């Protein structure tokens, strides 16, 4: 009888300690996920926001960059300049939004989820477009790969932060 009581008491104490340690690890993992997500969004946001430079850059400079990338002269025409500038502007705006989202992960959780989904969709679309784009090989490989990788990481961290919130009863 005593042995049974002692075994059950030890099991209860060990189980309670295991649950407490597991909870502490989950809380630490959740905090780490929030910190990493916040800094990743800031970093990607900053890098993307620098595309504003290309949006206001003279076409002559774009032509020089185009030539240095080994793609010959930048084609002449209003559509080329329009698309180069609007695409750069869109990247810059996306970057500014990512920086904003990093300011409050709980408030912008759904927007972060959407942004990660957009990165994943862009990775698939760009990978498909690049099959026939004629862009340099490193560009065709890196752009879709980075979109897919970063989108996956942001999605996973955002989900981790959300699951931590659920397990803590709403606290993020």
Q: Phi/psi of residue 49, each to 5°?
A: -65, -25
Distance CA 101, CA 158 (A): 11
Domain boundary among 99, 121, 141: 99
Distance CA 13, CA 154 (A): 38
Domain boundary among 72, 99, 126: 99
169 pLDDT more than 60 = no
Residue 91 sits in the same domain as residue 108: no
Indicate the pTM of the whole model: 0.75
pLDDT cut 90: percent of the chain above it: 64
10 Å Cβ neighbour count for 88? 20
Query: How many folded domains does the chain comprise?
Result: 2
Confidence of residue 122 (pLDDT cuts 50, 70, 90): very high
Residue 90 structural domain: 37-99
The closest alpha carbon to 28, from 168, 169, 142, 170, belongs to: 168
Residue 126 sits in the same domain as residue 79: no
Q: What is the residue-wise DSSP string for 27-85?
A: HHHHHHHHHHHHHHHHHHHHHHHTTHHHHHS-HHHHHHHHHHTTS-SPPPSHHHHHHHH
Query: Which of the given ranges, 130-134, 138-142, 144-148, has the highest pLDDT on average?
Result: 144-148
**Interval 45-90: pLDDT, tens:** 999 999 999 999 999 999 999 899 888 899 988 999 999 999 999 9
Q: Is 99 in contact with 41 (CB distance < 8 Å)?
A: yes
Residue 89 sits in the same domain as residue 127: no
Flag whether 115 is in a domain: yes
């Amino acid at each position: 009888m005593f042995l049974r009581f002692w075994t059950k008491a030890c099991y209860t104490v060990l189980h309670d300690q295991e649950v407490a340690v597991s909870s502490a690890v989950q809380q630490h993992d959740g905090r780490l996920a929030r910190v990493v997500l916040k800094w990743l969004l800031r970093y990607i946001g900053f890098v993307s926001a620098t595309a504003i430079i290309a949006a206001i850059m003279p076409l002559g400079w774009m032509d020089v960059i185009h030539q240095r990338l080994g793609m010959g002269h930048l084609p002449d025409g209003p559509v080329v300049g329009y698309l180069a500038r609007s695409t750069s502007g869109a990247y810059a705006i996306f970057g500014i939004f990512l920086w904003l989202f990093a300011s409050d992960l709980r408030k912008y959780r759904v927007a972060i989820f959407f942004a990660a989904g957009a990165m994943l969709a862009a990775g698939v679309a760009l990978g498909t477009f690049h099959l026939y784009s004629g862009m340099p090989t490193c560009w065709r490989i890196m752009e879709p790969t980075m979109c897919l990788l970063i989108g996956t990481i942001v999605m996973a961290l955002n989900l981790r932060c959300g699951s931590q919130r659920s397990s803590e009863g709403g606290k993020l």
